[in-house]
Amino acid sequence: MANYKRGKQSFILPQPPVITHWASVAGKKESEGPLRPWFDATSDDSHFGEKTWEQAEKRLQQQTLQILLKKSGIDAPDLVLSGDLLNQCIGSSFSLRNTGIPHLGLYGACSTMAESLLAAAMAVGGGFVDQAVAMTSSHFASSERQYRFPLGYGGQRPPTAQWTVTGSGAAMVQSTGHGPQITSCTIGTVMDLGIMDANNMGAAMAPAAYNTIRAHFDDMNMAPEDYDLIVTGDLGQIGKEALMELAAQDGTSLGGQLTDCGTLVFDNTTQDVHAGGSGCGCSAVTLCGYLLSHMVSGRFQRILFCGTGALLSPTSTQQGLPIPGVCHAVSIFYGGEPWTT
Amino acid sequence: MANYKRGKQSFILPQPPVITHWASVAGKKESEGPLRPWFDATSDDSHFGEKTWEQAEKRLQQQTLQILLKKSGIDAPDLVLSGDLLNQCIGSSFSLRNTGIPHLGLYGACSTMAESLLAAAMAVGGGFVDQAVAMTSSHFASSERQYRFPLGYGGQRPPTAQWTVTGSGAAMVQSTGHGPQITSCTIGTVMDLGIMDANNMGAAMAPAAYNTIRAHFDDMNMAPEDYDLIVTGDLGQIGKEALMELAAQDGTSLGGQLTDCGTLVFDNTTQDVHAGGSGCGCSAVTLCGYLLSHMVSGRFQRILFCGTGALLSPTSTQQGLPIPGVCHAVSIFYGGEPWTT
C-alpha cells in the first residue's frame, strides 16, 4: 500500500487535489470590513430571511453552497464535508436536508475550515471521490446565545473577547482542474494548558497552533521561510502574540510570514471587535475569498493555512473545566499563471 | 489518479484496511443484557469515577482507547477519528487532551461508529496514515439531560422511546494485519421526511437507512443475499419495522439478513427499554464486541454495518423543526481461519 504519511502528524498528497472554486457569504458587519471585495455575497439582514439565528446560519451555508456549485458547474458533488459551532451541528445538517448530496459531518470548532479541507484532501487524494466540498459557517448571534449570553441581555465584553464572524465559506476540492493545490496536511492534537477564561480563547488555542505549526515543519523538513504566509484561523491579536512568544521561546521566528484571519477580517481600529474576529466563519470567509484570490493573482505562492479551534462547550465551562485547543494545518500551493477570480 | 468511487455514494478499498483489534466498555444496564460476554469491561458505577455525566462519558472513551491500545500493542496511533452526542463533542475532545494523538472530530449523531470507520478506511486506505482508531460513545444520563429531561425530573417515556446505551466502542483500522477487512463504504445523505417526534427517532432514521442500503446495493451491484447480516445502528423495533416496510414497498426483502443493534443490545422483554437501545454507543459496543467477534469465529463472513443518526438538536426541536436522519454503511468481510478474541 502507498505510504504518504510523513513524520508524526503529517501526510503528503503526491497528486495534489486542486481547489478549483471557492465561495463566501458574509453578514453586515463583515461587509463593512476590509475583506468586502472578496465576498461573493453579503446581507444587511442578519436573519438572512429566516426566523431564528440557527436557521439563518443554515441559510448562510445553503447560499454559499449554491454559489459554489454555480461557479463550478457541478450540480451534485460527490461529498460535502462540513460542520459548525451549533449544538449537534444543525447549521450543516439542516442545510443539506434532502439535497441528495453525500455528507460527512465534522466537529473541529473554529478549526473546521482546515479540518474539512484536510479531510477533502484525503477523500479526493485517495481516489474515493472525484470532488469534495469543504464548508463551514458561524453566526455572531447564534454563537453569543449558545456560548455566552442572549444578545438582549447586553452583556459586557472584556478586551480579550473576540467577535464571532457571521459568514460561511466553501471550497471545491477536485482531483483535476486549475487552481491552488493542497500539497500536504498536518493533523492536530488536543492541547490543554489549563486556560479557563472563555473570553480569552486566543490564548487557549495558541499552544495548539504552535504545536501543529512546529510539527508541520519537523514532519515536512521545512521552515517558516518556505511559506509566503502562515495564517492561523482565529487567534486574534492576543492569541497571535501568544503564538509568536511560544515560537520565540523555541528559537523560531514566525514574524514576517505570520498573520491571523481574526486580525484580517475586521478593521480592529474602527469596528470595535476587541481582540479580533473568531468563529468557524472567520477563517472560512478569509480563505474562500481574500486568501485564495490572492494566491491565483500571484501575490502568495505558498500558504500554510492553520485552522484553530477551542474545544469547549458551555457545559464544560460551567463545570469548571479548562479549554482544550486544536489546530489543523493545510499546505496550499499555486504556481500557475496569475489570474483573477 | 486512482478512482475507487463506485456509483453515486460508494467507494471501494482495493487494498482493504483491516480491523485488527476492537474494544468496548459498557455500563451497568448494558452489562445485564445479552451482549455482556463480548464487552471488555463494564462498570456498576454510572459515573465511572467522575463527578459529572459528561466527564463519565469522557472516562468511558479513555478506558476504551486504553484497552484498544493495549490489545493492539500500539501506544501512539497515527489518528483517532471520534465524536459523540454531547454539545461540542466534549466526550471525544476531552478524552484525548494532551495525549499527543492526532485527532479529527466527527459529528454524525448515532451514525458515528460507521462514519468514523468509513473515514478511517479513507485515511488508511489512501495511505495517509498507517493506522486509525474509529471511536465513539454515549451515556444514558448525559443524553437524557441534554436531549430530554434531567433524570431527577422523572419524565414518562412513551412506548416509541429508546434507551440510550451507556458505552463506548473503538476499532483499530490498519493497513496490514489480521482481522475483518473494510471492503467498501457508502456515504449517506441527509433525509428529512418531516418526522417531528423526538421520542420516535427510529421512524425518523428509517428513510435514511433505507436510502443508504439501497444506494449500496445499486452502487456496488450487490443484493441483500450477498450479506450474512445487514445490521443497522439504532433504529430499534419500530424503526426496524419501518425500514422493512420501506424495503417491501420497493420490492426488496431484507428480512432474513436484517437486524438492528438497538434490538440486540438489551433484552427487550425484561429490561424495560421500550423500543430498544439507541445512541452512538449502541452500534459501537455491538460492533466492537459481539459482531466483530462473531465474524472472526466464522459465524458471519459478510456484514453491512449501517450506522444510523438522527441529526436533531434540542434547539431545532424547540423551534418546531423536523428530525433529519443520516446513515453511513461499511461493508466488512472476514474470510480467514476462525479464531476467538
Distance from the Cα of A16 to chain B's closest Cα (Å) equals 10
Buried b (16+ CB within 10 A) or exposed e, A243-279: bbebbeeeebebeebbbbbbbbbbebeebebbbbbbb
Residue B111 CA to residue B11 CA, distance in Å, equals: 18
- Verify whether the Cβ–Cβ distance B88 to A128 is below 8 Å: no
Distance from the Cα of A292 to chain B's closest Cα (Å) equals 24
- Verify whether the Cβ–Cβ distance B90 to A313 is below 8 Å: yes
Cross-strand pairs, B12 = B184
Distance from the Cα of B109 to chain A's closest Cα (Å) equals 7
Q: B129 and chain A: CB distance < 8 Å anywhere?
A: yes
Residues contacting residue A4 through CB under 8 Å, at least 6 positions apart: A11, A12, A13, A14, A125, B126, B127, B128
Q: B90 and chain A: CB distance < 8 Å anywhere?
A: yes
- Verify whether the Cβ–Cβ distance B88 to A313 is below 8 Å: yes
The DSSP line for B132-197 is EEEEEEE-HHHHHHHHS--GGG-----TT--EE--EEEEEEEESSSSS-EEEEEE--B-B------
Residue A256 has pLDDT above 80, yes or no: no
C-alpha cell at A65: 453552497
Pairing of strands B302-310, B325-333: antiparallel
Q: What are phi and psi of B45, to 5 degrees?
A: -95, 110
Q: A83 and chain B: CB distance < 8 Å anywhere?
A: yes
Would you tell me which residues 286-305 of chain A have a C-beta closer than 8 angstroms to some C-beta of chain B? none
Count CB-CB contacts under 10 A for residue A1: 13
Q: Which amino acid is at B325?
A: G
Q: Which amino acid is at B161?
A: A
Q: What percent of chain A has pLDDT over 70?
A: 100
What's residue B105's pLDDT? 98
Q: What are phi and psi of B152, to 5 degrees?
A: -65, -20
Task: For residue B93, give the nearest of A83, A85, A190 by CB distance.
Answer: A190
Give the tens place of pLDDT for each residue, A201-237. Answer: 999 999 999 999 999 999 999 999 999 999 999 999 9
For A212, the closest chain B residue by CA position comes to B102
Average pLDDT along chain A: 96
Give the tens place of pLDDT for each residue, A257-305. Answer: 999 999 999 998 899 999 999 999 999 999 999 999 999 999 999 999 9
Residue B277 CA to residue B162 CA, distance in Å, equals: 5
Q: What percent of chain B has pLDDT over 70?
A: 100
ipTM: 0.97
Q: Which amino acid is at A234?
A: D
Pairing of strands A5-6, A10-12: antiparallel
What's residue B255's pLDDT? 74
What's residue B2's pLDDT? 85
Residues contacting residue B91 through CB under 8 Å, at least 6 positions apart: B54, B57, B58, B60, B61, B84, B85, B137, B139, B142
Size of interface A-B (CB pairs under 8 A): 214
Q: Which amino acid is at A315?
A: T
- Verify whether the Cβ–Cβ distance A189 to B94 is below 8 Å: no
- All residues of chain B having their beta carbon less than 8 Å from the beta carbon of residue A78 are 5
Give the tens place of pLDDT for each residue, B293-341. Answer: 999 999 999 999 999 999 999 999 999 999 999 999 999 999 999 998 8
- What's the rounded mean pLDDT across residues B205-223? 97
Residue B302 CA to residue B56 CA, distance in Å, equals: 34
The DSSP line for B71-126 is HHT-SS-S-EEEEESSGGGHHHHHHTTTS--BEEEB--GGGHHHHHHHHHHHHHHT
For B129, the closest chain A residue by CA position comes to A5
Q: Which amino acid is at B139?
A: H
Cross-strand pairs, A136 = A83, A169
- All residues of chain B having their beta carbon less than 8 Å from the beta carbon of residue A9 are 102
- Verify whether the Cβ–Cβ distance A78 to B5 is below 8 Å: yes
- What's the rounded mean pLDDT across residues B145-150? 87
3-state SS record for A230-291: EEECCCHHHHHHHHHHHHHHCCCCCCCCEEEHHHHCCCCCCCCCCCCEECHHHHHHHHHHHH
Give the tens place of pLDDT for each residue, A147-175. Answer: 988 888 888 888 899 999 999 999 999 99
Residues contacting residue A121 through CB under 8 Å, at least 6 positions apart: A13, A17, A173, A182, A185, A330
- All residues of chain A having their beta carbon less than 8 Å from the beta carbon of residue B183 are none
For B189, the closest chain A residue by CA position comes to A102
For B88, the closest chain A residue by CA position comes to A313
Would you tell me which residues 268-287 of chain A have a C-beta closer than 8 angstroms to some C-beta of chain B? none
Cross-strand pairs, B310 = B325
- Verify whether the Cβ–Cβ distance A324 to B93 is below 8 Å: yes
C-alpha cell at B27: 455500563
Task: For residue A127, give the nearest of B1, B100, B175 by CB distance.
Answer: B1
Residues contacting residue B248 through CB under 8 Å, at least 6 positions apart: none
- Verify whether the Cβ–Cβ distance B311 to A192 is below 8 Å: no
- Verify whether the Cβ–Cβ distance A94 to B321 is below 8 Å: yes
A25 three-class SS: strand
Whole-model pTM over 0.90: yes
Would you tell me which residues 308-327 of chain A have a C-beta closer than 8 angstroms to some C-beta of chain B? 311-316, 319, 321, 324, 326
- All residues of chain A having their beta carbon less than 8 Å from the beta carbon of residue B79 are 187
Would you tell me which residues 14-73 of chain A have a C-beta closer than 8 angstroms to some C-beta of chain B? 15, 51-52, 54-55
What's residue A181's pLDDT? 98
Q: Which amino acid is at A231?
A: V
Residue B167 CA to residue B204 CA, distance in Å, equals: 23
How confident is residue B1, by pLDDT bands cut at 50, 70 and 90?
low
A interface mutation test: which of B57, B74, B88 has the most A CBs within 10 A? Answer: B88
For B101, the closest chain A residue by CA position comes to A189
- Verify whether the Cβ–Cβ distance B313 to A85 is below 8 Å: no
Helix (H) or strand (E) segment spanning residue B305:
strand B302-310
Residues contacting residue B63 through CB under 8 Å, at least 6 positions apart: B25, B41, B48, B168
Residue A18 has pLDDT above 80, yes or no: yes
Q: Are B167 and B5 in contact (CB under 8 A)?
A: no
Residue B132 has pLDDT above 80, yes or no: yes
- All residues of chain B having their beta carbon less than 8 Å from the beta carbon of residue A319 are 51-52, 54-55
What's residue A1's pLDDT? 66
- Verify whether the Cβ–Cβ distance A115 to B105 is below 8 Å: yes
For B50, the closest chain A residue by CA position comes to A319
C-alpha cell at A177: 482542474
For B83, the closest chain A residue by CA position comes to A107
Of the candidates A127, A119, A129, A145, the residue with the CA atom closest to the CA atom of residue A52: A145
Q: What are phi and psi of B191, to 5 degrees?
A: -110, 135
Residue B47 CA to residue B54 CA, distance in Å, equals: 9
Residue B33 CA to residue B235 CA, distance in Å, equals: 18
